[in-house]
């Protein structure tokens, strides 16, 4: 196992990467919150979901987090009556994505919070390292 | 006058603290992993009490399993503040408090070592 402080930095780095991927998925969902299908009656954009999993890194001897899967939400689509829409079927119904903006916002906040927590770990680990290095100096 | 083990104990505690920092980093990075149980290390006092002779690693390929290595130290934390629906028992607030604790202890540790070193130097120089 490498030095625990180095390991902490690597772990927090993996966490940062995972959370930023999550943020990317959230922004994809938000950007496509109103994306209808390309042809009349076609399925619209379906919400993407992301899951994480811890994986043992043998070289480091520690568990790093990584993205397990980016899947799609199988929740039913919203249906609106809008005959003028190009994606409307013959009855005038349009299928809209199953994206709930409020939920995405909550998810974004959570991703943000976790990202900040990981960043805090990086900062604190750096503090510990510099405290150790400071043992060498200021011995006037 | 008996031998002074301060540097020994201090470096051992510093190692323990860095291992704890690794455990905290693992917990925080897995804050959103389903089914992840928060880890913590055994208290330093326990580590000190069960410190014994360990096998020497005479070859880089040997796996060192000292008393301050993470695998032998990581214990399932039973005092998790909350367990979410997905079976994750990491509480970011709790981890932040633990990290603050580690930071403070490490600062105290290096401060004591520094002061002791200064004392030694003063007695040597005079």
Structure tokens at A110: 């959570």
Interface probe with A: pick from B18, B25, B103, B125, most Cβ of A within 10 Å: B25
Interatomic CA distance for residues A33 and A111, integer angstroms: 19
Structure confidence at residue A84 (pLDDT): 85
Mark out chain A residues that contact chain B at CB-CB < 8 A.
1, 3-5, 7-9, 11-12, 14-15, 18-19, 22, 51-54, 61-65, 110, 113-114, 117-118, 120-121, 124-125, 127-128, 131-132, 134-135, 138-139
Interface probe with B: pick from A13, A58, A117, most Cβ of B within 10 Å: A117
Structure confidence at residue A140 (pLDDT): 53
Instruction: Specify the higher pLDDT residue, B53 or A30.
Output: A30
Structure confidence at residue B107 (pLDDT): 94
Return all residues near B98 (Cβ < 8 A) that are at least 6 apart: B20, B24, B40
What is chain A's length? 140
Structure tokens at B35: 């089914």
Instruction: Specify the higher pLDDT residue, B43 or A8.
Output: A8
Instruction: Specify the higher pLDDT residue, A100 or B81.
Output: A100
Task: Identify the band that residue B63 occupies on the pLDDT scale cut at 50, 70 and 90.
Answer: low
The DSSP 8-state label assigned to residue A85 in this structure reads S
- A128: nearest CB among B28, B70, B103: B103
Give the mean pLDDT of chain B. Answer: 79
Interatomic CA distance for residues A37 and A116, integer angstroms: 36
Kindly list the distances between the CA atom of residue B5 and the CA atoms of B12, B67, B72, B120, in Å, as whole numbers in the listed order: 11, 17, 24, 13
Interface predicted TM-score (ipTM): 0.83
pLDDT above 50 for B67: no
Interatomic CA distance for residues A65 and A117, integer angstroms: 14
In the beta sheet, which residues pair with residue A63? A56
Structure confidence at residue B61 (pLDDT): 65
- Label the pairing between strands A78-81 and A62-72: unpaired
Structure confidence at residue B62 (pLDDT): 61
Structure tokens at B64: 């060192």
Contact yes or no for B25 and A113 at CB 8 A: no
Is the pTM above the cut of 0.90?
no
Task: Identify the band that residue A59 occupies on the pLDDT scale cut at 50, 70 and 90.
Answer: confident
Quick check: helix, strand or coil at residue A128? helix
Given a contact cutoff of 8 angstroms between Cβ atoms, the answer to whether A23 and A112 are in contact is yes
What does the pLDDT look like over B90-115, one tens digit per residue? Answer: 888 889 999 999 999 999 999 999 99
Task: Map tokens 């897995």 to a residue.
Answer: B30
What does the pLDDT look like over B2-29, one tens digit per residue? Answer: 667 788 888 888 988 998 999 999 999 9
Quick check: helix, strand or coil at residue A5? helix
Phi and psi, residue A67, nearest 5°: -75, 125
Average pLDDT score over residue span A122-136:
91
Give the mean pLDDT of chain A. Answer: 88
Given a contact cutoff of 8 angstroms between Cβ atoms, the answer to whether B21 and B116 are in contact is no
Interatomic CA distance for residues A15 and A13, integer angstroms: 5
What does the pLDDT look like over A107-116, one tens digit per residue? Answer: 999 999 999 9
Structure confidence at residue A122 (pLDDT): 95
Interatomic CA distance for residues A27 and A23, integer angstroms: 6
pLDDT above 90 for A126: yes
Structure tokens at B83: 């367990």
Average pLDDT score over residue span B25-50:
84
């Amino acid at each position: 196992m490498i030095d625990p402080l180095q390991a902490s930095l690597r772990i927090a780095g993996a966490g940062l990467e995972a959370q930023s991927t999550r943020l990317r998925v959230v922004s994809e969902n938000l950007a496509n919150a109103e994306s209808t299908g390309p042809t009349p009656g076609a399925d619209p954009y379906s919400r993407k979901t992301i899951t994480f999993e811890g994986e043992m890194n043998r070289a480091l001897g520690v568990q790093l987090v990584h993205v397990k899967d980016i899947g799609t939400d199988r929740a039913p689509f919203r249906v609106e009556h809008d005959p003028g829409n190009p994606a409307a079927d013959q009855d005038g119904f349009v299928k809209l994505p199953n994206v709930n903006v409020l939920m995405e916002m909550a998810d974004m906040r959570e991703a943000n919070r976790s990202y900040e927590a990981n960043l805090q770990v990086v900062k604190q680990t750096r503090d510990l390292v510099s405290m150790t290095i400071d043992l060498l100096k200021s011995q006037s | 006058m008996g031998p002074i083990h301060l540097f020994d104990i201090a470096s051992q505690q510093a190692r323990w603290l860095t291992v704890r920092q690794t455990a905290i980093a693992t917990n925080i990075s897995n804050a959103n992993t389903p089914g992840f149980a928060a880890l913590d290390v055994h208290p330093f006092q326990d580590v000190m009490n069960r410190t014994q002779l360990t096998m020497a690693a005479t070859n880089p390929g040997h796996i060192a399993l000292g008393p301050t290595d993470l695998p032998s130290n990581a214990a399932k934390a039973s005092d998790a503040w909350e367990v979410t629906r997905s079976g994750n028992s990491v509480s970011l607030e709790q981890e932040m408090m633990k990290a603050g604790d580690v930071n403070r202890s490490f600062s105290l540790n290096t401060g004591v070592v520094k002061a002791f070193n200064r004392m030694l130097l003063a007695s040597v120089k005079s």
